[in-house]
């Protein structure tokens, strides 16, 4: 903090109140991912395990949440990075990122992720035998390219991408966080007071999706690698000045209207005009709907979720282990439930209920022991004196 009595807008911008809304949005986002993955058995898109009967509503639900979910995660992460670098130097930041992201990623990819691939292969009649017979084959070739080893960790690809983004942006972010550069960002933020101006921020993402660089890597949550990097940088910028916060709150209503209209239009053109990912109109409508709903979510969070509660610290503490284990549990439960003669709705809520109970039980165990807390990306408990 600058101790000077006379503060510029830039130095003032560093003296933020605690942004509890970021914690609440992270908690809500992780739970939405859980709900989203419970629906994956029933949509028309390919997945590890599928129900025999599929559902059009679940497909719409999957596509709607899927389009918004990962950009929201990266924006929240970018915002949190801004505040983290306010009290931590670059070296400590990188070390903390490695412990928080890569330790649980590496541990999971050797332990629980093989279970997902095993059930995937069994479900698609590509393997017969026990899990222990399958495990040595897990390391044969790359998943998605004819092999079994998922180098991105299946649902944990977010962790490895966030770690990569943290490494490649740390020098830029440290530079931008200097007082003189925060002053420049504060002037830039004033421009985004204008109605509709926030939509300019998605133009680079539109260009990247149309060009699709590094397409050999495929899509991550429906987006190009570099598009998600831009979302992460946008998150950092949005946290850099209070004017951005005010602009997002002021854009909520127009974003809600635009979001509803663009969502309906996107639904119509994809259903009746065979629009695909390669089409310019698809990405115009798609990114308009995504960015509009993100503004609505961020605006509502900023306005109504910036409060503390005794449950916040506990929930924010367990989001990482919850996220790490949730899909494995969902797939294990779902593998058996989809074989039952139940209606789709009954199967969905059975999978969701049983998975949630087991995940909460596992998280409770994880948070009791420091070795498990370390392996699942949690802070260590201090020993009682």
User: pLDDT (tens digit, 9 = 90+) per residue, 187-221?
Assistant: 889 999 888 899 999 999 999 988 888 777 778 88
Percent of the chain past pLDDT 90, that is, above it, reads 73
Report the alpha-carbon distance of residue 265 to residue 200 in Å, rounded. Answer: 20
Across the chain, mean pLDDT equals 90
- Short-list 166, 165, 138, CA closest to 153: 138
Domain boundaries of the chain, sorted by first residue: 9-375
Report the alpha-carbon distance of residue 137 to residue 103 in Å, rounded. Answer: 23
* pLDDT at site 10: 39
* pLDDT at site 14: 45
- Per-residue confidence band for 381, with pLDDT thresholds at 50, 70 and 90: confident
- Per-residue confidence band for 385, with pLDDT thresholds at 50, 70 and 90: low
The partner residues of 143 in beta bridges, in order of sequence, read 147
284 and 206 Cβ atoms separated by less than 8 Å = yes
Within 10 angstroms of residue 33's Cβ, the number of other Cβ atoms is 22
The partner residues of 149 in beta bridges, in order of sequence, read 142
Report the alpha-carbon distance of residue 25 to residue 111 in Å, rounded. Answer: 29
Question: Quick one: average pLDDT of 267-272?
Answer: 79
256, exposed or middle or buried, with CB in 10 Å at 0-12, 13-18, 19+? middle
Report the alpha-carbon distance of residue 338 to residue 123 in Å, rounded. Answer: 11
Q: Is the pLDDT reported for residue 6 higher than 50? A: no
* pLDDT at site 13: 42
Q: Is the pLDDT reported for residue 17 higher than 80? A: no
Report the alpha-carbon distance of residue 63 to residue 34 in Å, rounded. Answer: 15
- Per-residue confidence band for 134, with pLDDT thresholds at 50, 70 and 90: very high
- Per-residue H/E/C for the chain: CCCCCCCCHHHHHHCCCCCHHHHHHHHHHHHHHHHHHHCCCCCCCCCCCCCCCCCHHHHHHHHHHHHHHHHHHHHHHHHHHHHHCCCCCHHHHHHHHHHHHHHHHHHHHHCCHHHHHHHHHHHCCCCCCCHHHHHHHHHCCEECCCECECCCCHHHHHHHHHHHHHHHHHHHHHHHCCHHHHHHHHHHHHHCCCCCHHHHHHHHHHHHHHHCCCHHHCCECCECHHHHHHHHHHHHHHHCCHHHHHHHHHCHHHHHHHHHHHHHHHHHHHHHCCCCCCCHHHHHHHHHHHHHHHHHHHHHHHHHCCCCCHHHHHHHHHHHHHHHHHHHHHHHHHHHHCCCCCCHHHHHHHHHHHHHHHHHHHHHHHCCCHHHHHHCCCCCCCCCC
Label residues 327-349 b or e (16+ Cβ within 10 Å = b). Answer: bbbbbbbbbebbeeeeebeebbe
* pLDDT at site 351: 98
* pLDDT at site 270: 76
* pLDDT at site 206: 92
* pLDDT at site 274: 66
Percent of the chain past pLDDT 70, that is, above it, reads 94
Question: Quick one: average pLDDT of 346-359?
Answer: 98
147, exposed or middle or buried, with CB in 10 Å at 0-12, 13-18, 19+? middle
- Short-list 161, 286, 267, 169, CA closest to 219: 161
* pLDDT at site 57: 86
Q: Is the pLDDT reported for residue 276 higher than 70? A: no
* pLDDT at site 1: 36
* pLDDT at site 62: 79
Q: Is the pLDDT reported for residue 140 higher than 70? A: yes
Instruction: Pick 142 or 1 by higher pLDDT.
Output: 142
pTM over 0.85: yes
* pLDDT at site 16: 52
Question: Quick one: average pLDDT of 52-58?
Answer: 91
- Which tokens belong to 153? 């960790």
Residues 6 or more apart whose CB falls under 8 angstroms from that of 244 comprise 189, 192, 237, 238
- Per-residue confidence band for 12, with pLDDT thresholds at 50, 70 and 90: very low
- Short-list 72, 82, 91, 4, CA closest to 32: 72
């Amino acid at each position: 903090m600058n101790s000077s009595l006379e503060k510029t807008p830039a130095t003032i911008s560093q003296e933020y109140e605690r942004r509890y809304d970021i914690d609440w949005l992270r908690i809500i986002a992780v739970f939405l991912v859980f709900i989203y993955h419970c629906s994956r058995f029933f949509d028309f898109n390919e997945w590890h395990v599928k129900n025999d009967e599929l559902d059009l509503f679940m497909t719409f639900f999957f596509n709607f949440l899927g389009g918004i979910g990962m950009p929201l995660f990266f924006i929240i992460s970018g915002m949190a990075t801004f505040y983290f670098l306010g009290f931590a130097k670059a070296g400590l930041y990188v070390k903390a990122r490695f412990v928080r992201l890569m330790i649980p990623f590496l541990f999971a990819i050797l332990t629980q992720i093989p279970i997902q691939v095993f059930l995937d292969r069994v479900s698609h009649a590509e393997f017969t035998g026990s899990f222990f017979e399958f495990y040595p084959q897990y390391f044969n070739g790359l998943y998605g390219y004819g092999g079994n080893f998922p180098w991105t960790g299946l649902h944990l690809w977010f962790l490895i991408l966030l770690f990569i983004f943290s490494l490649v942006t740390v020098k830029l972010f440290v530079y931008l966080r200097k007082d003189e550069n925060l002053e420049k960002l504060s002037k830039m933020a004033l421009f985004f007071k204008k109605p509709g101006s926030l939509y300019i921020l998605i133009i680079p993402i539109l260009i990247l999706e149309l060009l699709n660089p590094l397409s050999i890597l495929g899509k991550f949550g429906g987006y190009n690698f570099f598009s998600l990097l831009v979302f992460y940088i946008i998150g950092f910028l949005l946290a850099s000045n209070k004017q951005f916060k005010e602009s997002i709150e002021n854009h909520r209503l127009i974003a809600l209207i635009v979001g509803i209209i663009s969502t309906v239009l996107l639904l119509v053109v994809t259903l009746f005009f065979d629009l695909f990912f390669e089409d310019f109109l698809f990405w115009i409508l798609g990114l308009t709907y995504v960015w509009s709903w993100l503004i609505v979510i961020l605006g509502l969070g900023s306005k109504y979720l910036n409060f503390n509660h005794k449950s916040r610290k506990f929930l924010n503490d367990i989001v990482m282990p919850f996220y790490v284990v949730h899909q494995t549990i969902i797939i294990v439960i779902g593998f058996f439930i989809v074989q039952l003669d139940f209606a789709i709705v009954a199967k969905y809520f059975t999978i969701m209920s049983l998975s949630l109970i087991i995940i909460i039980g596992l998280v409770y165990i994880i948070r009791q022991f420091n070795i498990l807390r370390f392996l699942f990306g949690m802070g260590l408990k201090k020993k009682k004196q």
